[in-house]
C-alpha cells in the first residue's frame, strides 16, 4: 500500500514536471500569428488601418515616416517598440541616437492609435505590433504591396542608445558596408536592395546628402543643380528633398530608374547602381515592378520577425512612450 502511494506521488510529480516543461517550452517558442488578436481585440487591425489612412491622407510623407519608425525599431535589438521610449531619469532611450535625432517622426500617430486601442481593448495590443502593422498599412496607403503581418510581439522594457547608433545603416555607407549591415540582420544583398526601395517615398534632410551634392562625380548634373537650390553648401541642414524626385508620394519602382540616371539622392542610394554586384538587381526591379513588389513585401515580413519578444517576455505598454 505504502509503495503504491509512493509510486502515485512520483507519477504526479512527473506529470506536474512534464506540464511545467510544456508550459516553459510553449513560452520559449511562442509563435507570431496573423490571428493573434482575432478574439482578444477583433477590431485592432481595422483601427490601425483607418488611423494610418487618415494620417497619410493629411500628409503623404507620414507614410514614409511610419515605415522608417518600424525599420529603426527592428534593427535595434529586434521589433520591440524600444524606439518609442522617451528618456527618463533611469532610462536612456533611442530617440537621441544619431540616425534618429531631429529625424524620426510619427510618434504622435502611434500615440493616437494606442489611445484608440486602449479604449477598445485595454492592455491587449502591443506597441511593437502597432508599429509593424502601421508600416504595412502606410505602404498600402501609398500604392505599395500588401502582405500578411504575423502578430503577438510584446514591448521592450529597455532601450539601447549605443545599438541605435551602431546598427542602423547610415546614408554615407558604401555598397560593401550596406551589404554587411543588412547581412548582420540576416538579409541577403537582394533583400537589402528591395528594402532600399522604401526610398521611393519620403524625404531626407540636406545634412544627409550635402556631401554627395557638392563632392561626388557620379551624380546627374541638372539633378544636382536643382537640389543645390534647396541644400546650400552650408546652413539649411534640415531642409528637405524627396528621396525619389520622380514620384515622391507613390510607392513604385521609380527609385531604381533614378539610380540608373545617377539621380540617387543619398550616397548609399547611388551605391546600389555604381558598377557593383547589385546593378543587376536594380535592373531586374526596373524591368519588372511585380518582382520588386513581391521581394519588398517578403523582405518587410522578414524584418517584422526580427527577434520579437513573445510569450511572457516584455510587456504590453499602455503608453508607448514609457514602461508600465
Residue with the three cell numbers 513573445? 310
Nearest to residue 83, comparing CAs of 160, 166, 170, 137?
A: 160
Nearest to residue 170, comparing CAs of 206, 135, 208?
A: 208
Could you tell me which CATH number the domain at 43-304 has?
1.10.420.10
At residue 304's C-alpha, the angle toward residues 299 and 306, to 5°, is 100
Catalytic residue IDs: 72
Residue segments in the chain with a per-residue pLDDT below the cut of 50: 1-6, 8-10, 12-13, 19, 21-29
How far is 50 from 52, CA to CA, in rounded Å? 5
How far is 276 from 179, CA to CA, in rounded Å? 11
Residue 309, SS3? strand
Which residues lie below 8 Å from residue 186, measured CB to CB, with a gap of 6+?
A: 302, 306
Angle of helix 189-196 versus helix 279-287 axis, rounded to 10: 50
Instruction: Give the per-residue pLDDT at 31.
Output: 87
Phi, psi of 204 (to 5 degrees): -130, 155
Residue 106, SS3? coil
Instruction: Give the per-residue pLDDT at 17.
Output: 54
Which residues lie below 8 Å from residue 174, measured CB to CB, with a gap of 6+?
A: 267, 268, 271
How far is 82 from 312, CA to CA, in rounded Å? 17
**Per-domain residue ranges of the chain:** 43-304
CA 262 vs. chain centroid, Å, equals 27
How far is 269 from 247, CA to CA, in rounded Å? 16
Tens-digit pLDDT profile for residues 4-28 = 444 544 454 455 555 454 444 444 3
How far is 106 from 56, CA to CA, in rounded Å? 10
Q: Residue ranges for the binding site?
A: 73, 76, 78, 80, 82, 94, 169, 199-200, 244, 252
Tens-digit pLDDT profile for residues 204-217 = 999 999 999 999 99
How far is 101 from 112, CA to CA, in rounded Å? 21
Amino acid at each position: 500500500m505504502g509503495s503504491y502511494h509512493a509510486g502515485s506521488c512520483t507519477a504526479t510529480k512527473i506529470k506536474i514536471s512534464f506540464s511545467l516543461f510544456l508550459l516553459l517550452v510553449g513560452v520559449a517558442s511562442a509563435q507570431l500569428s496573423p490571428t493573434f488578436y482575432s478574439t482578444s481585440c477583433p477590431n485592432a487591425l481595422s483601427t490601425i488601418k483607418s488611423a494610418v489612412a487618415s494620417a497619410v491622407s493629411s500628409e503623404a510623407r507620414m507614410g514614409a515616416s511610419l515605415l522608417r519608425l518600424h525599420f529603426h525599431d527592428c534593427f535595434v535589438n529586434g521589433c520591440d517598440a524600444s524606439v518609442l521610449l522617451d528618456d527618463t531619469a533611469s532610462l536612456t532611450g533611442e530617440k537621441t541616437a544619431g540616425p534618429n535625432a531631429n529625424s524620426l517622426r510619427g510618434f504622435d500617430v502611434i500615440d493616437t492609435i494606442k489611445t484608440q486601442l486602449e479604449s477598445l481593448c485595454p492592455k491587449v495590443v502591443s506597441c511593437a505590433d502597432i508599429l509593424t502593422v502601421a508600416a504595412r498599412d502606410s505602404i498600402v496607403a501609398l500604392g505599395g504591396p500588401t502582405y500578411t503581418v504575423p502578430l503577438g510581439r510584446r514591448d521592450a522594457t529597455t532601450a539601447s542608445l549605443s545599438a541605435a547608433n551602431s546598427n542602423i545603416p547610415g546614408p554615407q555607407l558604401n555598397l560593401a558596408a550596406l551589404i554587411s549591415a543588412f547581412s548582420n540582420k540576416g538579409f541577403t544583398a537582394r533583400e537589402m536592395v528591395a528594402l532600399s526601395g522604401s526610398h521611393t517615398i519620403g524625404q531626407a534632410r540636406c545634412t544627409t546628402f550635402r556631401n554627395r551634392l557638392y563632392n561626388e562625380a557620379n551624380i546627374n548634373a541638372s539633378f544636382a543643380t536643382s537640389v543645390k537650390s534647396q541644400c546650400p553648401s552650408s546652413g539649411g541642414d534640415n531642409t528637405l528633398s524627396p528621396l525619389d524626385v520622380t514620384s515622391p508620394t507613390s510607392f513604385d519602382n521609380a527609385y531604381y530608374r533614378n539610380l540608373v540616371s545617377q539621380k540617387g539622392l543619398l550616397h548609399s542610394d547611388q551605391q546600389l547602381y555604381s558598377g557593383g554586384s547589385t546593378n543587376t538587381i536594380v535592373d531586374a526591379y526596373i524591368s519588372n515592378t511585380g518582382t520588386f513588389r513581391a521581394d519588398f513585401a517578403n523582405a518587410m515580413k522578414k524584418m517584422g520577425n526580427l527577434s520579437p519578444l513573445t510569450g511572457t517576455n516584455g510587456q504590453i505598454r499602455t503608453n508607448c512612450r514609457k514602461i508600465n
